[in-house]
C-alpha cells in the first residue's frame, strides 16, 4: 500500500484508493482490523484528519465499519446485500434524474431485465412471493390511493416478482432498475381506467407465475411494458400541447 507523492492534491483520495485496492484484491480479508488512525497516519506520512477523510470515503461505500474503544478501530466490512441494494438504488436514481434519461429508455431497460427474471420466477416462486404480489395488486385497487402510493405499490409488486426468481444476485442487480423508475413513474397521473388496466395485468402476471407459465408471464410483461410506455407518451403529448396553447 503506497501512495504517489508526485500528485500532491487529494491525499485522502489516494489513501482511500490504496486501502480500497487492498480490500478488493483480497489482501485484507473480511473483519480484518486496519491499523489505527495514528498508525495509518504515520505509515502514509500524513496527519490524522487526512487519514480520517480517507476512512470516511471507504465507510460511505460500506467497505469498512468503525468501532470506538480499546479494541476498536476500522474493520473490513462484509458487504451485505442490503447495503448493496441501497447504494445501487441511490446511484441508479441519480443517474436517471441527472442525465435526462428518457422514460422510454429507462422503461425499456427495466422491462427487458424483468422479463429475464420471469422464467426463473415462474419456476421457483414460493407461496410467499405470490402472496406479496396478490397483496400489492389488491392494494392498488383501493380507490383513495394517491398516485405516489400506487407507484410505491407497483414497485413492491415488481420487486416481489424479481425476488421470486430466488437469485439474490439478480435481485440486487434489478433493485436499481426497478426502484429508480419510481420518480419517473410519479410524473404520470393515473386515471381510474389506466390503473385498472395495470392491475389486471398484475393479476394476470401473478396467475401466470403461479401456473409456472413462463411464456404467458413474458407476454403479460411485454403488454405491461407497452402500456406503460403508451401512458407516458400521452402525458408527454398533453404536456407539449398545453405548452403550445399557453
Interaction site with its own copies (CB under 8 A): 12-13, 16, 20, 23-24, 26, 30, 49, 52-54, 56-61, 63, 78-81, 84, 87-88, 90-99, 101, 105-106, 108-109, 112-113, 115-117, 119-120, 165, 167-170, 172-174, 176-177
> Could you tell me how far CA 77 lies from the centroid of its own chain?
20
Q: CB within 8 A of 31, min separation 6: which ones?
A: 75, 76, 78
Q: Which C-beta is closer to its own copies: that of 26 or that of 143?
A: 26
Q: Which C-beta is closer to DNA: that of 47 or that of 102?
A: 47
Q: Which residues bind DNA (CB under 7 A)?
A: 8-12, 34, 36-38, 45-50, 52-53, 55, 66-74
Q: Shortest distance, CB of residue 209 to DNA, whole angstroms?
A: 45
Q: Shortest distance, CB of residue 80 to DNA, whole angstroms?
A: 19
Q: Which C-beta is closer to DNA: that of 32 or that of 128?
A: 32
Alpha-carbon distance of 229 to 212, in angstroms, equals 27
Q: Which C-beta is closer to its own copies: that of 80 or that of 239?
A: 80
- Contact indicator for 213, 140 with CB cutoff of 8 Å: no
Q: Shortest distance, CB of residue 187 to its own copies, whole angstroms?
A: 12
- Contact indicator for 96, 183 with CB cutoff of 8 Å: yes
Q: Shortest distance, CB of residue 34 to DNA, whole angstroms?
A: 7
Which among DNA, its own copies, none contacts residue 125 (Cβ within 5 to 8 A by kind)?
Answer: none
Which among its own copies, DNA, none contacts residue 172 (Cβ within 5 to 8 A by kind)?
Answer: its own copies
3-state secondary structure of 67: strand
Q: Which C-beta is closer to DNA: that of 74 or that of 137?
A: 74
Which among its own copies, DNA, none contacts residue 78 (Cβ within 5 to 8 A by kind)?
Answer: its own copies
Closest CA to 165 of 201, 195, 121: 121
Q: Give long-range contacts, CB 8 A cutoff, 24+ apart: 151-155.
A: 151/182, 151/185, 151/186, 152/182, 154/185, 154/198, 155/179, 155/181, 155/182
Which among DNA, its own copies, none contacts residue 45 (Cβ within 5 to 8 A by kind)?
Answer: DNA
Residue with the three cell numbers 422514460: 103
Which among its own copies, DNA, none contacts residue 134 (Cβ within 5 to 8 A by kind)?
Answer: none
Alpha-carbon distance of 200 to 184, in angstroms, equals 22
Alpha-carbon distance of 122 to 154, in angstroms, equals 19
Alpha-carbon distance of 85 to 198, in angstroms, equals 26
Q: Shortest distance, CB of residue 64 to DNA, whole angstroms?
A: 10
Amino acid at each position: 500500500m503506497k501512495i504517489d507523492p508526485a500528485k500532491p492534491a487529494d491525499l485522502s483520495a489516494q489513501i482511500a484508493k490504496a486501502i480500497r485496492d487492498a480490500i478488493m484484491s483480497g489482501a485484507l480479508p473480511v473483519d480484518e482490523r486496519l491499523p489505527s488512525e495514528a498508525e495509518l497516519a504515520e505509515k502514509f506520512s500524513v496527519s490524522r484528519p487526512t487519514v480520517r477523510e480517507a476512512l470516511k470515503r471507504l465507510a460511505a461505500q460500506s467497505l469498512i465499519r468503525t468501532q470506538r474503544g480499546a479494541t476498536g478501530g476500522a474493520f473490513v466490512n462484509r458487504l451485505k446485500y442490503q447495503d448493496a441494494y441501497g447504494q445501487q438504488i441511490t446511484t441508479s436514481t441519480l443517474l436517471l434524474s441527472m442525465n435526462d434519461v428518457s422514460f422510454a429508455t429507462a422503461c425499456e431497460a427495466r422491462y427487458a431485465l424483468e422479463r429475464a427474471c420471469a422464467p426463473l420466477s415462474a419456476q421457483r416462486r414460493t407461496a410467499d412471493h405470490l402472496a406479496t404480489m396478490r397483496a400489492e395488486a389488491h392494494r392498488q385497487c383501493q380507490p383513495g390511493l394517491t398516485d405516489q402510493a400506487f407507484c410505491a405499490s407497483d414497485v413492491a409488486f415488481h420487486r416481489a416478482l424479481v425476488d421470486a426468481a430466488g437469485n439474490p444476485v439478480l435481485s440486487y442487480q434489478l433493485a436499481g432498475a426497478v426502484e429508480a423508475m419510481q420518480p419517473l413513474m410519479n410524473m404520470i397521473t393515473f386515471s381510474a381506467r389506466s390503473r385498472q388496466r395495470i392491475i389486471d395485468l398484475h393479476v394476470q402476471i401473478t396467475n401466470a407465475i403461479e401456473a409456472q407459465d413462463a411464456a404467458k408471464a413474458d407476454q403479460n410483461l411485454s403488454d405491461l411494458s407497452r402500456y406503460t410506455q403508451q401512458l407516458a407518451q400521452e402525458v408527454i403529448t398533453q404536456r407539449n400541447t398545453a405548452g403550445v396553447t399557453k
